[in-house]
Amino acid sequence: MTFAATVLTLYPEMFPGPLGVSLAGRARDEGKWSLETVQMRDFAIDKHRTVDDTPAGGGAGMVLRADVLAAAIDYARTAHPDAPVIAMTPRGKPLTQARVRELAAGHGVTILCGRFEGFDERIFAGRQVEEVSIGDIVLSGGEPAALMLLDACIRLLPGVMGAPSSGSEESFENGLLEYPHYTRPQEWEGRAIPEVLRSGDHAKIAAWRKSQSEIDTRLRRPDLWERHEGARVLPASGARREKKD
Ligand code: ADE
């Protein structure tokens, strides 16, 4: 099955960009995923091909028009009715590896790239669109965020990644950061590779990696650690313990 990516954008020339090389580029050449860009301006309804207008209530910047967005979405939906439509916006739900996995297991994705101040909010009531953010930062547009989302999906498609295990052991797959890696030379600028990794004792190495993964997550990402610990102590039903007054 080919994973079909459709990107609705004002800047189609930004694609495939980095997805045209390396792993993703090769996978696309091999037909494991496809990319179609759709110029949103083609769905404008005036002779100037206007896609945006001033914000209601005043303020800086411009807002993408709901009618133009809807026409572009409807066009993409006709070709790919099963693909979820995702709008890249800093107001969206933070992207997670779990959601990436779900998307990668599907038929593809249609991505709406915002520009200017964002989308007319009515598009989210008028069409089924999932709002997704790639982090608490503000980009100049949704295109780099779309490239990130697609990159994360493409590497998980069957046959794209070299070693199959590298997808399941890595950061976030078990709610933790991945353990640190080392390679030759054995000593570099007076720093040695941890002895255990040279021991050949696979059980010991696995235990060390697990422990490092836990330590690093606790120190670097207390938010992830808290969630991980919370999931571990909660009963299987997910029910929360009654809080005492
Ligand atoms: N567009 C601008 N900033 C963004 C973000 N953080 N995530 C997704 N899309 C964006």
Digit-coded pLDDT (tens) for 129-146: 999 999 999 999 999 999
Clarify whether residues 146 and 210 are in a common domain.
no
- Cβ partners under 8 Å of residue 157, min gap 6: 3, 27, 32, 33, 104
Counting ligand 1 atoms within 8 A of each CB, the residue from 86, 129, 139 with the most, and so the one to mutate, is 139
- Is residue 168 one of the residues assigned to a domain? no
- Cβ partners under 8 Å of residue 187, min gap 6: 193
Counting ligand 1 atoms within 8 A of each CB, the residue from 95, 117, 134 with the most, and so the one to mutate, is 134
Structure tokens, 198: 């040279």
- Is residue 161 one of the residues assigned to a domain? no
Q: Are 53 and 63 in contact (CB under 8 A)?
A: yes
What CA–CA distance (Å, rounded) separates 233 from 125? 38
Q: What is the pLDDT of residue 162?
A: 77
Instruction: Give 233's pLDDT tier (boundaries 50, 70, 90).
Output: confident
- Is residue 160 one of the residues assigned to a domain? no
Q: What is the pLDDT of residue 204?
A: 98
Structure tokens, 87: 């709008």
Clarify whether residues 19 and 80 are in a common domain.
yes
Clarify whether residues 102 and 213 are in a common domain.
no
In the predicted model, is pLDDT for residue 107 greater than 70? yes
Residue type, 20: G
Clarify whether residues 180 and 227 are in a common domain.
yes
Beta strands in 98-226 (DSSP E): 108-113, 130-133, 187-188, 191-192
Burial pattern 229-238, b for ≥16 Cβ within 10 A else e, equals: eeeeeeeeee
- Cβ partners under 8 Å of residue 237, min gap 6: none
Higher pLDDT, 116 or 110: 110
pLDDT in tens, 173-212: 789 999 999 999 999 999 999 999 999 999 999 999 999 9
Q: Output the domain CATH number for residue 193.
A: 1.10.1270.20
Instruction: Give 243's pLDDT tier (boundaries 50, 70, 90).
Output: very low
Structure tokens, 98: 């779990």
pLDDT in tens, 143-169: 999 999 999 999 999 999 976 555 567
Indicate which atom in ligand 1 lies nearest the CA of residue 138: 3
- Is residue 80 one of the residues assigned to a domain? yes
Clarify whether residues 127 and 203 are in a common domain.
no
In the predicted model, is pLDDT for residue 240 greater than 60? no
* Number of domains, the chain: 2
C-alpha 90 to ligand 1 mean position (Å): 4
Q: Are 51 and 38 in contact (CB under 8 A)?
A: no
In the predicted model, is pLDDT for residue 117 greater than 60? yes
Structure tokens, 47: 């002779």
pTM summary value: 0.93
In the predicted model, is pLDDT for residue 96 greater than 80? yes
What CA–CA distance (Å, rounded) separates 73 from 202? 51
* Residue 68 burial (CB count, 10 A): 23
Q: What is the pLDDT of residue 244?
A: 45
- Kind of pairing, strands 3-9 and 108-113? parallel
In the predicted model, is pLDDT for residue 245 greater than 70? no
pLDDT in tens, 30-83: 999 999 999 999 999 999 999 999 999 999 999 999 999 999 999 999 999 999
Pocket of ligand 1 (CB under 6 A): 88-90, 114, 133-135, 137-139, 142, 145
- Is residue 162 one of the residues assigned to a domain? no
Domain that holds residue 90: 3-154
Q: Which of 123, 154, 185 is the last residue of a domain?
A: 154
- Give the SS3 label for residue 20: helix
Q: Are 108 and 149 in contact (CB under 8 A)?
A: no
